Amino acid sequence: MESSELIGVFDSGVGGLSVLAEIRRELPLADLMYFADQGRAPYGVRPLDEVSAMSGEVSEWLLDRGADVITIACNTASAAALHQLRARYPEVPFVGMEPAVKPAALNTSSGIIGVVATAATFQGELFASVVQRHASGARVLTKACPTWVELVERGEIDGPRARGQVEQCLAGLLEGGADTIVLGCTHFSFLIPLIEDVAGPGVAVVDPGPAVARQVRRVVGYSDGDARLILATSGDPARLREWARRLAGIEGTEPVLACVWNGG
């Protein structure tokens, strides 16, 4: 591919910033546009067809603004829409996400893997097919953790309330014998220190962000862009700017764009 592609990246909110940070590590000069659909977050509690329609609108928004490649930095949107988006825009490379069951199955000693994600991700055919193809005989326990998405959207990644909610979601998985926890939602990457602390030293936490960023680099090839970074949101631009800095150490190179659905 050409060297100055604009890479569009999207999520329902700030979770995908964890993937964006990894993409910047892989491709430091790449021009990037990140869209947080915060006006309509969370995605994970909605029916898949609704998430699919919203993912289509966001993709169109990014393509209209010049994106050449799109990274769906959201497991829920990937589960709901990756196949449809590839079919609708055959000329556009889409990089999607799926829970990293494969590396977890290769590394588990107990033979039991815990996957944390949104309810919608577990309902999608993508998750069933990932387990079928990659669990390699390991037992897969699942837990939907919608409160973790809310925590991260509020920028609350430590403190007693966050810890309590992490403990609550992990309890069944740890009691069930999981020695590997797969993060199946990009918001959860910001909770890794807390998850590791609650799970303890015998439990590995698998974050797919770095592998997805390497896949983006494989698709783009190389990049000698201008390291532009445009942030955009359907929610509050000031809040996205602040959270991007605080959660991911990311500063946009231009003012945050605001998107108002149904209104331009």
Q: Which residues are catalytic?
A: 74, 185
Site string for ligand DGL, 120-159 (x = CB under 6 A): -x---------------------------x----------
* DSSP structure string for 115-183: EEE-HHHHHSHHHHHHHHHH-TT-EEEEEE-HHHHHHHHTT--SSHHHHHHHHHHHHHHHHTT-SEEEE
Q: Which stretch binds ligand DGL (CB under 6 A): 41-49, 88-96, 194-202, 232-240?
A: 41-49
b/e 76-113 (16+ beta carbons within 10 angstroms → b): bbbbbbbeebeeeeeebbbbbbbbbbbbbbeebeeebb
For position 15 contacting ligand DGL by CB under 6 A, the verdict is yes
How far out from the chain centre does Cα 157 lie? 16
Distances (CA, A) of 82 to 11, 71, 101, 154: 13, 10, 18, 27
Size of the site for ligand DGL (CB under 6 A): 17
* Smallest separation (angstroms) from ligand DGL to the CB of 75: 4
Tokens 């999520």 appear where? Answer: 11
For position 71 contacting ligand DGL by CB under 6 A, the verdict is no
* Smallest separation (angstroms) from ligand DGL to the CB of 40: 9
Single residue of 6, 35, 44, 208 touching ligand DGL by CB under 6 A:
44
Query: Which residues are bridge partners to 232 per DSSP?
Result: 35, 257
Query: Which residues are bridge partners to 121 per DSSP?
Result: none
- The conformational region for residue 137 under phi > 0 = left, psi -120 to 50 = alpha, else beta, is left
Among candidate residues 209, 179, 208, the one with its CA nearest the CA of residue 196: 179
How far out from the chain centre does Cα 235 lie? 18
* Smallest separation (angstroms) from ligand DGL to the CB of 191: 12
Q: Which is nearer to ligand DGL, 179 or 195 (CB)?
A: 195
30: tokens are 């790449």
| Closest residue to bound ligand DGL by CB | 44
Site string for ligand DGL, 187-216 (x = CB under 6 A): x-----------------------------
97: tokens are 């996400």
Residue 161 neighbours by CB distance under 10 Å: 12
Site string for ligand DGL, 76-95 (x = CB under 6 A): x-------------------
* Smallest separation (angstroms) from ligand DGL to the CB of 220: 21
Q: Which is nearer to ligand DGL, 5 or 22 (CB)?
A: 22
Q: Which stretch binds ligand DGL (CB under 6 A): 68-76, 100-108, 159-167, 251-259?
A: 68-76
Single residue of 34, 35, 43, 127 touching ligand DGL by CB under 6 A:
43
Binding residues (CB under 6 A) for ligand DGL: these are 11-13, 15, 41-44, 74-76, 118, 121, 149, 185-187
